[in-house]
């Protein structure tokens, strides 16, 4: 396997992670960092996946499909970072204060 065959996917991964981070920061600035419950997360994720599926079904250009894919990934990262409102002990402590 050539060095290029190894390097190119790694570079693309870093580009993708950078795009996800940008989308995540945009989402935080627009919607805040409040925690979601699992049901809220599912509803938001489903909406984003539906938009991705719509782009795929419409045979949109790759750039549009990738944009939707980045939004799906960003919402997964957001849920992971902010944790679950009903299951994270830190959230329960904050409610008591």
Q: Where are the domains of the chain?
A: 3-96
Mean pLDDT of 16-32: 95
pTM, two decimal places:
0.80
3-state percent breakdown (helix, strand, coil) of the chain, nearest 5: 80, 0, 20
Q: Retrieve residue 52's tokens.
A: 């991705």
Mean pLDDT of 84-93: 70
Query: Cβ contacts of residue 44 below 8 Å, gap of 6+?
Result: 36, 75
Name the more confident of 4 and 66.
Answer: 66
As a dihedral over the C-alpha atoms of residue 26, residue 31, residue 34, residue 35, rounded to 10 degrees, the angle is -70
Provide the pLDDT for residue 4: 72
pLDDT above 90 covers what percent of the chain?
60
Mean pLDDT of 19-29: 96
Average pLDDT, the chain: 88
């Amino acid at each position: 396997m050539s060095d290029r065959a190894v390097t190119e996917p790694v570079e693309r991964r870093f580009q993708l992670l950078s795009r996800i981070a940008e989308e995540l920061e945009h989402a935080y600035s627009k919607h805040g960092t409040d925690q979601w419950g699992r049901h809220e997360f599912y509803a938001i994720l489903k909406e984003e996946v539906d938009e991705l599926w719509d782009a795929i079904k419409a045979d949109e250009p790759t750039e549009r499909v990738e944009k939707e894919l980045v939004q799906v990934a960003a919402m997964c990262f957001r849920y992971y970072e902010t944790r679950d409102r009903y299951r994270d002990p830190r959230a329960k402590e904050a409610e008591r204060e």
